[in-house]
Amino acid sequence: MRANCSSSSACPANSSEEELTVGPEAQGSLGLVFTVVSAVMMGLLMFSLGCSVEIRKLWWHIRRPWGIAVGLLCQFGLMPLTAYLLAISFSLKPVHAIAVLIMGCCPGGTISNIFTFWVDGDMDLSISMTACSTVAALGMMPLCLYLYTWSWDLAQNLTIPYQNIGITLVCLTIPVAFGIYVNYRWPKQSKLILKVGAVVGGVLLLVVTVAGVVLAKGSWNSDTTLLTISFIFPPIGHVSGFLLALLTHQSWQRCRTISLETGAQNIQMCITMLQLSFTAEHLVQMFNFPLAYGLFQLVDGVLIVAAYQIYKRRLKNRPRKRNPDCAEVCHDKKCREASAFLEVHEEAAGTPEPSGPMDRHRALEPTGHITSCE
């Protein structure tokens, strides 16, 4: 595959900054308002989500980064490979194939943190993965793009948006760090901030997504192939991330987290890189893909959250149907205590039985408490 980007249409080396940043998206005051509102919204959202992070658990993930390592493998291993295979399978034009590959090489987006909260995922792992993937993108993005495009014989160089990566990292870490501090000092208030922020953040995210699509309505075209890829790419990422996490023996909570982190990409970073690397002539052909991907990953996330909430409600109703008298006894903390007690007795199953009658009586005493909730 050869990218047919001649010098007449490619970005010249001596082009001005104004030419490089010109794109099909709306310009002027509306574009500025959209950018400012997006930045403020993401800052407030990450602050509220940071209120769910505990320093002890976050430090545990940093000291034992097995979950983070699996997430990075999904982010910069599975996603770029999936993008490359999709581009080859659908026989995309060079300019379209590059857009798909750039999207696959981008780090995880903050939208995954919202979905992780609504599916009761590991928020400490989710935020850690988002931050680590953003830092790793400084080196992994150019490496992945080089490995998958060296045979395409590009006539121009792809520009990595290092400034955008740095801004994204700052906008992520500072609000989250402040939220962690609030959770540490005022845990009761942080729970309220988290609930309000999750709801308001989800609504604002939907509004900003729709506004972005409306502002860039001139970039949409009738290329059904790109729309098809943008439709199936996020679910492939979710499923492959979940399966890899399952194969590495991660908990169900971590599997859900890694799955959502894998399929959710940083759309703004992809758009910025396209603007820096291509002229308006090429952007008209490729700009609709990241917009469509962002729309479909939002729809997929909402469907995943809805399916999980339905499953969660049905799961809560099961104990009441089986044994209504024990529904209140075996709830939350007591059931966890019973499970821990059973695990201890399973480990001690191979030990000799108590010799004295008093010891036998003590060993049998909790058993009746456990069996009463079955």
CATH number of the domain that residue 111 is part of: 1.20.1530.20
Q: How many domains does the chain have?
A: 1
pLDDT of residue 304: 93
Distance CA(102)–CA(163), nearest Å, equals 17
Distance CA(96)–CA(283), nearest Å, equals 10
What six digits make up the tokens of 159?
């520009």
Distance CA(348)–CA(262), nearest Å, equals 40
Which stretches of the chain are assigned E, i.e. beta strand?
Answer: none
Residue 150 carries which side chain, given as an amino acid letter?
A: W
Give just the sign of the alpha carbon dihedral 68, 71, 75, 78. Answer: positive
pLDDT of residue 156: 60
Structure confidence by residue, pLDDT tens digits, 102-153 = 999 999 887 888 889 889 999 889 888 988 898 899 899 989 998 888 877 6
What six digits make up the tokens of 126?
């989710």
Tell me if 128 is assigned to some domain: yes
Tell me if 6 is assigned to some domain: no
Give just the sign of the alpha carbon dihedral 42, 43, 49, 55. Answer: positive
pLDDT of residue 24: 43
Inter-residue contact 99 to 286 (CB < 8 Å): yes
CA 186 to chain centre: 27
* Domain span holding position 120: 36-311
**Residue 370 pLDDT greater than 60, yes or no:** no
pLDDT of residue 31: 54
pLDDT of residue 367: 44
pTM above 0.75, yes or no: no
Least confident of 102-106, 190-194, 316-320: 316-320
pLDDT of residue 280: 76
Place of tokens 């005022």: 186
**Residue 194 pLDDT greater than 50, yes or no:** yes
Rg of the chain over all Cα atoms, to the nearest angstrom: 25
Structure confidence by residue, pLDDT tens digits, 9-29 = 334 333 333 333 344 444 445
Composition of the chain by helix, strand, coil, percent to 5: 80, 0, 20
Tell me if 358 is assigned to some domain: no
Mean pLDDT over the full length of the chain: 75
Tell me if 96 is assigned to some domain: yes
Tell me if 15 is assigned to some domain: no
358-364 mean pLDDT? 43
Tell me if 89 is assigned to some domain: yes
Give just the sign of the alpha carbon dihedral 163, 137, 205, 217. Answer: positive
Distance CA(130)–CA(297), nearest Å, equals 16
pLDDT of residue 251: 92
Q: ∠ at Cα 87 (222, 272), nearest 5°?
A: 70
**Residue 208 pLDDT greater than 70, yes or no:** no
Is the pLDDT higher at 223 or at 107? 107
Backbone dihedral angles phi then psi of residue 371, each to the nearest 5 degrees: -70, -20
* 70 exposure class (CB count in 10 Å sphere: 0-12, 13-18, 19+): buried
152-173 mean pLDDT? 74
Tell me if 181 is assigned to some domain: yes
Structure confidence by residue, pLDDT tens digits, 40-91 = 777 777 788 888 788 888 788 788 889 899 999 999 999 999 999 999 999 8
Tell me if 46 is assigned to some domain: yes
Expressed in angstroms, the distance from the first to the final Cα of the chain is 63
